[in-house]
Amino acid sequence: MRWPWQQRHDRDLFNIGSIVPTPTYAAVPVNPSTAMQHSAVWACVNLIAGAISTLPLAAYRTGQLDPLPDLPPILRVPSAGWSLPDFLYATLQSLLVRGNAYGLIVDRAGAGLLPSQVELLDPNRVGVQVDNRVIWRIDGQEVDPASIWHVKAFTAPGQVLGLSPIQHARQAIGLGIGAERYAAKFFGESAIPSGVLTSDQDIKQERAEHLKARWKQAHGGNRDIAVLGSGAKFQAVTIPPEQAQFLETTQANVRTICRYFGVQPELIGSDSGGSLTYANVEQRALDFLTFGLRPWLVRLEVALSALLSSTTTVKFNAAALVRTDLLTRYQAHESAIRAGWKLRSEVRDLEDLPPVAGIDDQPAGGAVA
């Protein structure tokens, strides 16, 4: 039995991919496409997707600490014509903007018929219906659920799909886009004059037009000296930069958008609005990794591992994001080698140096080649 609210929910899910622009109080329709026109949305999505998609990825056997020498084929070329970084970037962009990422498993190989190729799908092509079972459709045609690779973000109990961050942040996004549009029109279409000619004498229409023409002639490109007479004076009309550029509104809006995406405003060229400072770049990167990227890393690791055998998992090397200065990094390497919990070969691999045969057989006090 399906309760009435569940039946309404099922109907809503059916065309979930086709998200129409949603009106906002700022009178700016917002959907995933229009949201990406907001500079802060674009910057947050690009920052998270770009940072994770370029991290090193390794595969491990269950219970083993050493990574496999090579990634499984599906992770080397997950989709036709797509490299792994491009595949991960597109997946993350869909997650960050739509709350869901979809892939169609188009080929399988091996004894266990594991997926060997996954084609990412435009969310607009995907529909899902819940009616005693989950029914997936692509372009309106029902497909086998086993052929769908689905990753969801912002999960909620009782929901098949992840929540859409753009839909939940639509008011803030609409405000930001509206402010940018208003500012552009303010500068491009505003009727506010550049200045005012005044006089202590009574000026008729004909005399006023004559003074205006003389002023424009003197300052229309040549910037010549103007001599007006008749007691005329020029007073420039100035607008405070804070009002003209709507700095306070836009900065506050950027901070709001950043809260939705878990990004520090400083990382996309804004300010935090407070006194928060960072001792160094490493600390900022560590905070971003811990609070902003870690949830996405874990989601992707689980989703990618689902494409492999049950005895294989994948893990991102998040340490590559936190690059210290050269001296500090080398001192940390030396300490790890002397303590015995890191091998010289592992250090060389982290530093993108070629392997050296027998380097791990050298005495503990020996120099690292």
- Look at residue 348 and tell me whether its pLDDT is greater than 80: yes
Q: In this predicted model, which residue has the larger pLDDT, 155 or 11?
A: 155
Q: CB atoms < 10 A from the CB of 329, how many?
A: 16
Q: Give, for 137, the enclosing helix (H) or strand (E).
A: strand 134-138
- Longest C-alpha distance within the chain, in Å? 100
Q: In this predicted model, which residue has the larger pLDDT, 316 or 355?
A: 316
Q: In this predicted model, which residue has the larger pLDDT, 178 or 279?
A: 178
Q: In this predicted model, which residue has the larger pLDDT, 97 or 359?
A: 97
In angstroms, the CA 46 to CA 30 distance is 19
Q: Show Cβ contacts of residue 21 under 8 Å, excluding neighbours closer than 6 positions.
A: 29, 30, 31, 34
- Look at residue 228 and tell me whether its pLDDT is greater than 60: no
Q: In this predicted model, which residue has the larger pLDDT, 220 or 109?
A: 109
In angstroms, the CA 337 to CA 341 distance is 6
In angstroms, the CA 285 to CA 308 distance is 31
Q: In this predicted model, which residue has the larger pLDDT, 206 or 307?
A: 307
- Look at residue 15 and tell me whether its pLDDT is greater than 80: no
- Look at residue 355 and tell me whether its pLDDT is greater than 90: no
pLDDT given at position 197: 57
Q: Give, for 180, the enclosing helix (H) or strand (E).
A: helix 170-189
Alpha helices per DSSP H over 61-106? 73-76, 84-98
Mean pLDDT of 67-75: 88
Backbone CA torsion sign across 247, 252, 257, 261? positive
In angstroms, the CA 199 to CA 231 distance is 5
**pLDDT tier, 297 (very low <50, low <70, confident <90, very high otherwise):** very high
Number of separate helices (H) and strands (E) present in the chain:
14, 10
Q: In this predicted model, which residue has the larger pLDDT, 182 or 54?
A: 54
Note whether 37 and 301 are within 8 A (CB): no
User: Of 6-10, 91-95, 213-217, which gets the smallest average pLDDT?
Assistant: 6-10
**pLDDT tier, 339 (very low <50, low <70, confident <90, very high otherwise):** confident
In angstroms, the CA 13 to CA 150 distance is 15
pLDDT, tens digit (0-9, with 9 covering 90-100), for 37-69:
999 999 999 999 999 999 999 999 988 878 888
User: Of 130-134, 245-249, 273-277, 283-287, which gets the smallest average pLDDT?
Assistant: 273-277
Q: In this predicted model, which residue has the larger pLDDT, 209 or 273?
A: 209
Instruction: For residue 349, give the 3-state DSSP assignment.
Output: helix
Where residue 229 falls (left for φ over 0; alpha for ψ -120 to 50; beta otherwise) is left
Strands of 100-109's sheet, edge to edge?
114-121, 100-109, 148-152
**Burial of 290: CB neighbours in 10 Å, binned 0-12, 13-18, 19+:** exposed
pLDDT given at position 218: 64
Q: In this predicted model, which residue has the larger pLDDT, 62 or 83?
A: 83
**pLDDT tier, 130 (very low <50, low <70, confident <90, very high otherwise):** confident
Pick from 363, 325, 326, 322: which is nearest to 344 by CA?
Answer: 363
pLDDT, averaged across the chain: 80
**pLDDT tier, 313 (very low <50, low <70, confident <90, very high otherwise):** very high
- Look at residue 301 and tell me whether its pLDDT is greater than 90: yes
pLDDT given at position 345: 86
Enter the tokens of residue 142.
């029902």
Mean pLDDT of 202-213: 72
Backbone CA torsion sign across 294, 298, 303, 307? positive
Q: In this predicted model, which residue has the larger pLDDT, 324 or 129?
A: 129
Q: How far is CA 238 from CA 118, 203, 309, in A?
A: 58, 25, 68
**pLDDT tier, 229 (very low <50, low <70, confident <90, very high otherwise):** low
Place of tokens 């597109």: 90
